[in-house]
Structure 1
C-alpha cells in the first residue's frame, strides 16, 4: 500500500498546490514512485505543472493526472510508493473521504487572519470526523516578513494546534520556478531557501513518523 498524503484547505491561494508539488518533487528525487493527483478538475494546476515538468530532461519524474474523484485517483495505487492528493481550494463531501484515507492531512495557511480563521475551523471539522492531531500537519505559506510568522504561530497555538517548523516565503522566483515545472525545493537561492527547506524537512519527518507508527500498530 502506498503512503497517501492529502493537501486540503477551506479556500484557495494559501500555498496548497505549491507544497503538494514540492513534496512530489522531493519524493521523486528520493527514488520513490510518486503520483500527484489533482482533484480540481476545473483548474488543473498540478496538471499544467506536470506538463511543464516533462519538458525538463533533468527533472525527476512525477506522474501527474487530473481525476474527478479520489477513488479514480487510486485505481492504480499499487504501482506507487507515494500518492499526493491536491484537493480543490474548498471543502466538499469528498474532503472527509480523502482525509480518512490519508496517512497525513496537510492543512496550509497564510499568515493573514482571513486565512488563519477558516484554517482553524477546518482543523476542528477534521477532528470531528475522526482525524486525530497526529495525522494533521498545519503549515505556513506565503510569508512576506519574519514578523508574520510569529503572529501566525501564536494564533494557531491559541487554537490548540501547532505549525510545523519552517515556512514558505512569498517569492517571485518560486512562482517562476513552478511555471517552468520546478518545485520550490529545486530553486537555487542560497540562504533564502532555508525556511522553505526546513518546512519540507519537517513535513517529511511528520510523514515518516506517522507511517512508522501505523506499521507498528500505533497509528490511527
Structure 2
C-alpha cells in the first residue's frame, strides 16, 4: 500500500460530498508513455483499495481498451475497468461510480486535451529525456496555463529514460526552469515493461523487483501530489 494512502483517503473523506479523483494523462505527441502510465496508475489505485476506471479517449488506437482485454483473458487481478469514450463529457458522466477516473487522452488533440485538463485534479504530461520530447511537452503545458489551468495541477513524468543520471538531471532542470514540477521516479527503457504490457500487466507487475519499484515510485509521487492538493482544498 502507498505510504500516503491513509492520508489520501482522509483528505477524500473531509470533502463536503463524495467526489471522484480525476487524473488526466495528456501529451503533444504519441509514444511518450501516456497509456503506459494510465494503466500503471489504475492498477496501483485498485490495489490500494480505490475503485478505479480508465477512460480511453483515443477511440482510434484504444491502447488501454485492448490491454484490458488481454488482462481479462489472463485472469490477472485486480481487474481494471477500461471503457472507450468518444468525448470527455461522456467519460465524466460515468465518474461518480468510481473513487478515481484515469483519463487517457488523444495525443495532439488540443480541444480534448484542454477538456481533460479542466476536469482533472492532476494533469500528468509524460516526457522522455531529449529536447525532441521535452520541448513539445513544455509548449503543451504553457498552452494549458494560458487557457487557465493552474500550474500546481500540472506535473511532468519522466518516461523511457536511459538510466543516465546526468541526462535525467538535465531533463528535470529543463522542465523546472520552464516553471513546472517533475514527479519523483522514472520509467526506464526496458523490454520487460513491454513484455508485461503484452500479457495484460501493468509496469508494476513485471518479473523484476527493481523495475517494479521504479514504476511504483512514480505512482507514489502521483498519490502524493493528489494528497497535497486535496489537503489544500479542505484546509
Number of the residue aligned with 1:5 = 23
Q: Which residue of 1 aligns with 2:109?
A: 91
The equivalent of 2:226 in structure 1 is 207
Provide, for residues 138-193 of structure 1, a one-character-per-residue CA deviation record: whole Å limited to 9, x for no partner.
Answer: 11000122232112112112212231111100100101101111100112312344
5+ long unaligned stretches in structure 2? 1-18
How far, CA to CA, are the matches of 1:33 and 1:208 in structure 2?
17
User: Does structure 1 residue 27 correspond to structure 2 residue 45?
Assistant: yes
2:44 maps to 1:39 = no
1:187 counterpart = 2:206:
yes
CA contact (8 A) 1:3 1:211 kept: no
The C-alpha deviation readout for 1:100-149, integer Å capped at 9, x for no partner, is 11111011101111110011111111111111122111110001222321
SS in 2 for 1:6: strand
In structure 1, which of residues 63, 72, 78 is the aligned counterpart of residue 81 of structure 2?
A: 63
Moved over 6 A (4+): none
Q: Which moved more, 1:113-122 or 1:205-214?
A: 205-214
Length-normalised TM-score, structure 1 = 0.93
Residue 123 of structure 1 is aligned with which of 125, 141, 144? 141
Confirm or deny: 8 A CA contact 1:39 1:88 kept in the other structure. Answer: yes
Q: What is aligned with 2:15? A: none
Aligned to 1:196: 215
Q: Over aligned residues, Cα RMSD in angstroms?
A: 1.4
Aligned to 2:204, what secondary structure does the other structure show?
A: helix
Deviation (angstroms), 1:201: 1.0
* Conserved 8 A contact 1:164-1:199: yes
Matches within 5 A, 1:111-150: 111-146=129-164, 147-150=166-169
Deviation at residue 69 of structure 1 after TM alignment: 0.3
2:174 pairs, out of 151, 155, 158, with 155
Q: Is the 8 A contact 1:4 1:85 kept in 2?
A: yes
Structure 1 residue runs of 5 or longer lacking an equivalent are none
CA deviation profile, 1:85-111 (whole Å, cap 9, x unmatched): 000121321211221111110111011
